[in-house]
């Protein structure tokens, strides 16, 4: 039994290959994009609107509210990145109810890619908000001696993001697969439901942690006093 959907290859030409992770990711991207396009092509700006529009508005405004509660004063700036992180991970977990589907987030390559995105996005947003000098100063706060520890913190939390998500998603899929072979009735359904809950929680945790990292990077002066958000969960 493969541990990761990366191992399921559909096509390969040299180092270029098409595995289940990429294929299911494309499927997810197609589903999200097509669904968003179908719903948003006829949006109503009046008081009466469709249920799907209500659902999307609730999702978008909830994400913005969560971003704002983290401490980011302009949530629209970060909505594209953080909202897509949440929707991608959540929808990847939600589709585990489809038989034969393997979540791309169960691949360490995917979670590493997402963690790398966060790893790059944090300094980008910090520099865009604070400028080069102020952002780089944050690494030597409160003293210059903290520079190596801050760098290690950046790397370790990125690694933690990737491994945490991968571990949760992979373990869930593995448990369901094992249980299917042992007790094929009823119990896997319960575990699937538990996996759905775990997936939603992981999507929330990943997105919130990314928001917290960005918030810490965009608020230099408060970073020294704020607790190190981090590697809970």
Partner 1 sequence: MLIDWFTVVAQLINFLILVGLMKRFLYQPILDAIDARERRIATELADAAAKCAEAERARDDFRHRSSALDQQRDTLLKAAEAEAEMRRTQLLTDAQQAADMLSQQHRDALAQEYLQFKTELSRLTRDEVFAISRKVLGDLSDTTLEARMCEVFVQRLQHLDTATRDQLISAFYASPGPVWVRSTFELPPPQRQSIQAAVDVLFATAVSVQFATTPTLINGLELSINGRKLGWNIADYLAAMDTRVSTLLARHSVPEPRP
Q: What binding mask, one character per residue, do residues 89-128 give for partner 1 by CB under 8 A, x or -? A: ---------------x--xxxx-xxx-xx-----------
- Which residues, 6+ apart, have CB-to-CB distance to 199 below 8 Å? 89, 90, 92, 93, 94, 96, 103, 105, 168, 169, 172
Least gap, CB of 215 to partner 1 (angstroms): 19
Q: Which stretch binds partner 1 (CB under 8 A): 83-91, 148-156, 181-189, 211-219?
A: 83-91
Please give the structure tokens belonging to residue 178: 């094992």
State which residue, 112 or 203, has the beta carbon closest to partner 1: 112
Residue of 10, 50, 57, 187 that binds partner 1 (CB under 8 A): 57
Q: What angle do CA 82, 87, 89 make, to 5 degrees?
A: 95
Q: Does 76 bind partner 1 (CB under 8 A)?
A: yes
Residue of 77, 84, 150, 153 that binds partner 1 (CB under 8 A): 84
The SS3 assignment for 227 reads: coil
Q: Which stretch binds partner 1 (CB under 8 A): 57-65, 129-137, 147-155, 215-223?
A: 57-65
Least gap, CB of 164 to partner 1 (angstroms): 14
Q: Which helix (H) or strand (E) holds 19?
A: strand 16-19
Per CB under 8 A, which of residues 3..42 are in contact with partner 1?
3-4, 6, 15-17, 19, 21-22, 25-26, 29, 32-33, 36-37, 40
Q: Does 66 bind partner 1 (CB under 8 A)?
A: no
Alpha helices in the chain (DSSP H): 20-40, 51-70, 75-78, 84-94, 108-130, 132-137, 147-182, 187-218, 220-223
d(CA 205, CA 164): 10
d(CA 127, CA 224): 17
State which residue, 16 or 145, has the beta carbon closest to partner 1: 16
Please give the structure tokens belonging to residue 183: 């007790």
Q: Does 83 bind partner 1 (CB under 8 A)?
A: yes
Residue 143, phi then psi, degrees to nearest 5: -135, 165
Give residues in contact with partner 1 (CB under 8 A): 3-4, 6, 15-17, 19, 21-22, 25-26, 29, 32-33, 36-37, 40, 43-47, 49, 53, 56-57, 60-61, 76, 79-81, 83-84, 87-88, 104, 107-110, 112-114, 116-117, 166
């Amino acid at each position: 039994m493969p541990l990761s959907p990366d191992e399921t290859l559909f096509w390969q030409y040299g180092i270029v290959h098409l595995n289940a992770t990429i294929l299911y990711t494309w499927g997810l991207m197609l589903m999200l994009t097509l669904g968003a396009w179908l719903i948003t092509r006829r949006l109503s700006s009046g008081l009466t609107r469709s249920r799907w529009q209500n659902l999307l508005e609730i999702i978008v405004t909830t994400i913005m509210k969560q971003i704002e509660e983290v401490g980011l004063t302009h949530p629209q700036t970060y909505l594209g990145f953080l909202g897509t992180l949440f929707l991608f991970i959540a929808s990847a977990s939600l589709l585990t109810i489809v038989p034969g589907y393997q979540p791309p987030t169960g691949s360490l390559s995917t979670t590493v890619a997402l963690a790398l995105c966060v790893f790059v996005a944090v300094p980008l947003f910090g520099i865009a908000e604070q400028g080069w000098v102020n952002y780089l100063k944050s690494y030597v706060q409160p003293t210059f001696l903290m520079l190596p520890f801050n760098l290690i913190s950046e790397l370790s939390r990125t690694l933690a993001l990737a491994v945490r998500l991968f571990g949760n998603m992979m373990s869930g899929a593995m448990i369901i697969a094992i249980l299917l072979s042992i007790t094929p009735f009823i119990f896997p359904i319960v575990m699937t439901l538990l996996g759905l809950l775990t997936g939603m929680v992981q999507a929330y945790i990943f997105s919130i942690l990314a928001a917290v990292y960005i918030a810490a990077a965009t608020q230099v002066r408060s970073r020294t006093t704020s607790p190190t958000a981090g590697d809970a969960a």
